[in-house]
Amino acid sequence: MKKLLNIVLVISVPLVMYSCYYDEFPEEIVEEIPEGQVISFEQEIIPIFVTNNCVECHPSIRQPDFRPGNEYTSLVPAFVTPGNPADSRLYEMLNDNNHRSLTTTELNLIKKWIEQGAENN
């Protein structure tokens, strides 16, 4: 019996020790936005609001209103200063608070869209 206990211990101790092994947390892959790429509000910015379920917290009673069809008029000019992300409430709120777990790529797209004049394209 004692021999069986020793065998179980010899086998289980390494298993327990290596079962807690983990790799480092993966680094977020940040997609580079090519120079000269025009950011489309409809194709690239609205999907960020949809993916992050922004409409759940921002229906018509809470501004900005992210219900479909209301996004642009609710954002510009009240929350977005075209051409100036640093002066845009939307960018500042998202950047300062890591709001709704936006990825760095999503935040960069929003910033680039604002820098390009926040067009409704």
Q: What is the pLDDT of residues 24-50, one digit of tens each?
A: 666 667 778 888 899 999 999 999 988
The range of the structural domain enclosing residue 32 comes to 3-115
Domain count, the chain: 1
Express as a percent the part of the chain with pLDDT over 70.
Answer: 84
Residue 106 lies in a domain: yes
Residue 120 lies in a domain: no
Residue 56 lies in a domain: yes
Residue 89 lies in a domain: yes
Residue 121 lies in a domain: no
pTM of the entire predicted model: 0.73
Give one word for 69, left, alpha or beta, with left for phi > 0 and alpha for psi -120 to 50.
Answer: left
Whether the per-residue pLDDT at 21 is higher than 60: the answer is no
